[in-house]
Amino acid sequence: MSNILVTGGAGFIGANFVLDWLRQAGADGIVNVDKLTYAGNRESLAEVEGDVRHVFSQIDICDTAAVSCLLKVHRPRAVLHFAAESHVDRSILAPGQFVQTNIVGTFSLLEAVLAYWQGLDMSAREAFRFLHVSTDEVFGSLGPAEPPFSETSRYQPNSPYSASKAASDHMVRAYHHTYGLPVLITNCSNNYGPFQFPEKLIPLTITNALAGKSLPVYGDGLNVRDWLYVGDHCTAIREILARGRAGETYNVGGWNEKTNIEVVHTLCDLLDELKPKAAGSYRDQIAFVRDRPGHDRRYAINASKLAQELGWTPAETFESGLRKTVQWYLHNEAWVQDVLSGEYRNWMSKQYAA
Ligand code: NAD
Ligand code: DAU
């Protein structure tokens, strides 16, 4: 059986990708490398526990020797790099770990992968791919009338998180141009869906609403994000891995621009329908709070390169994806309760104390 190696496969998008990949007929095996930080959760992988096609390894991507060892043993035909520190607010409070994992970690991983790739025979070298999962945040912030980000938009990262992701993108690109490593880079907009850690807007709103807590909306609530259901992101990555051109970058997005307050209102309305309160609406819990420092006003992705070259378009609308997501959180209370204990409580009191 041939293999692929995934980093960060116990996180939100990585776990969705692993589950989705192994549900496909004739899928390669997966070697799943994850350090299991606060954001990594093996409960998200319960469906593939005991599946011989899935090998989990708790490793830090900064550990080049350990990653090299795994590459040597499992001989993957591709490496998909999801692992990162991913939350903007955490990067504002403590940027150091973002530099370590997103920049040093990506560099360390590239070193291991390059040495492995150079040792392959010619046909395996040609077929090999290193797919780097990045973000639209590297392009900075759009004005209200500006066109969405394209693959040629200028890099203008504004937060420690997006700056660290931008640096990692540049390093991946350099390994292609300098050493010929066959890389693919994806820059995706905001994801939502099952297994997302409730520090991010959508799962935080759902879990706080159900717990009777306030629903914090930063600033005036009019910042815009372009939302994509995580299953659609996984499909896009599979297509790009299979048929994307080495050395290219692909923007991935849902054509779903929404203000934050629209998102929170829609979630409240869905919850009012699916799990009504004894009295009143979940909207009553909304609280406008102090803005995020340096808060990017608007992100939007032009995903037409992906549609034209590879025929990918999202399957879910914002309405269908959000309904599925709310239903998932309502039906997976054990997963939610497990996550809400421990480290999460410390984060919530630190971030929202004021
Ligand atoms: P996440 O925070 O939910 O998961 C990150 C995973 O990486 C966790 O399992 C964590 O344990 C692991 N990890 C962290 N540091 C590690 C290290 N040093 N070594 C090994 N594993 C480590 O993140 P996510 O939301 O699933 O995002 C995955 C990727 O997609 C990231 O690269 C992120 O920048 C990118 N991205 C995310 C979104 C989004 O909306 N969530 C959108 C576009 C791009
Ligand atoms: O655009 C892609 C990026 O999307 C990814 O690269 C990041 O990994 C991912 O975390 C996400 O970043 P955002 O900062 O856009 O996501 P977040 O869910 O943290 O916030 C979404 C918007 O909601 C943003 O404008 C800030 C706002 N917000 C967020 C939280 C947590 C609130 O108003 N209140 C909140 O409590």
Question: Counting beta carbons within 10 angstroms of the beta carbon of residue 252, is it exposed (0 to 12), middle (13 to 18) or buried (19 or more)?
Answer: buried
Best probe residue, ligand 2, of 225, 227, 258, 268 (max atoms within 8 Å of C-beta):
225
Structural domain that includes position 76: 3-196+227-257+294-316
User: What is the DSSP pairing of strand 224-229 with strand 257-259?
Assistant: antiparallel
- Tell me which residues are annotated as active site: 136-137, 161
And the tokens for 158?
Answer: 């504004």
Phi and psi at 146, nearest 5°, equal -75, 150
Q: Is the CB of 136 under 6 A from ligand 2?
A: yes
pTM above 0.95, yes or no: yes
Instruction: Return d(Cα 275, Cα 273) in angstroms, integer.
Output: 6
Instruction: Return d(Cα 333, Cα 340) in angstroms, integer.
Output: 10
Q: Given this model, what pLDDT does residue 343 score?
A: 83
Instruction: Return d(Cα 225, Cα 241) in angstroms, integer.
Output: 26
Ligand 1 atom closest to Cα of 41?
9
- The residue whose two tokens read 């879910």 is 316
Best probe residue, ligand 1, of 6, 13, 137 (max atoms within 8 Å of C-beta):
13
* Sign, CA torsion 7/9/11/17: positive
pLDDT, tens digit (0-9, with 9 covering 90-100), for 85-124? 999 999 999 999 999 999 999 999 999 999 999 999 999 9
Q: Is 140 left (phi over 0), alpha (psi -120 to 50) or beta?
A: left
C-alpha of 215 from chain center: 23
Task: Tell me the CATH number at 190.
Answer: 3.40.50.720
Q: Given this model, what pLDDT does residue 353 score?
A: 83
Which helix (DSSP H) or strand (DSSP E) does residue 192 occupy? strand 190-192
Overall number of domains in the chain: 1
Q: Is the CB of 37 under 6 A from ligand 1?
A: yes
- The residue whose two tokens read 């937060």 is 159
Is 89 a domain residue?
A: yes
Average pLDDT in the 252-272 region? Answer: 97
pLDDT, tens digit (0-9, with 9 covering 90-100), for 278-303? 999 999 999 999 999 999 999 999 99
Dihedral of the alpha carbons of 33, 39, 44, 45, in degrees to the nearest 10 = 10
Q: Is the CB of 233 under 6 A from ligand 1?
A: no
Is 351 a domain residue?
A: no
Q: Is the CB of 86 under 6 A from ligand 1?
A: yes
Ligand 1 atom closest to Cα of 165?
34
Is 342 a domain residue?
A: no
Share of the chain above pLDDT 90, in %: 96
Is 133 a domain residue?
A: yes
The residue whose C-alpha atom lies closest to atom 34 belonging to ligand 2 is 217
Is 219 a domain residue?
A: no
Is 61 a domain residue?
A: yes
Instruction: Return d(Cα 14, Cα 165) in angstroms, integer.
Output: 16
Average pLDDT in the 136-154 region? Answer: 98
| pLDDT range class, residue 354, cuts 50, 70, 90 | low
And the tokens for 352?
Answer: 């929202």
Q: Given this model, what pLDDT does residue 277 score?
A: 97
- What one-character-per-residue DSSP string does 11-59 give? SHHHHHHHHHHHHSTTPPEEEEE----TT--GGGGGGGTT-TTEEEE--
Side chain identity at residue 101, one-letter code = T
Is 151 a domain residue?
A: yes
Q: Given this model, what pLDDT does residue 341 score?
A: 83
Q: Is the CB of 60 under 6 A from ligand 1?
A: yes
Q: Given this model, what pLDDT does residue 342 score?
A: 74
Q: What share of the chain is helix, strand, coil (3-state, %, to 5)?
A: 50, 15, 35
Q: Given this model, what pLDDT does residue 41 score?
A: 96
Instruction: Return d(Cα 33, Cα 64) in angstroms, integer.
Output: 12
Is 267 a domain residue?
A: no
pLDDT, tens digit (0-9, with 9 covering 90-100), for 178-219? 999 999 999 999 999 999 999 999 999 999 999 999 999 999
pLDDT, tens digit (0-9, with 9 covering 90-100), for 21-66? 999 989 999 999 999 999 999 999 999 999 999 999 999 999 999 9
Q: Is the CB of 36 under 6 A from ligand 1?
A: yes
Average pLDDT in the 160-166 region? Answer: 98
Among 91, 328, 136, 326, residue whose Cα is nearest residue 226: 136
What's the length of the chain? 354
Buried b (16+ CB within 10 A) or exposed e, 173-195: eebbeeeebbbbbbbbbbbbbbb
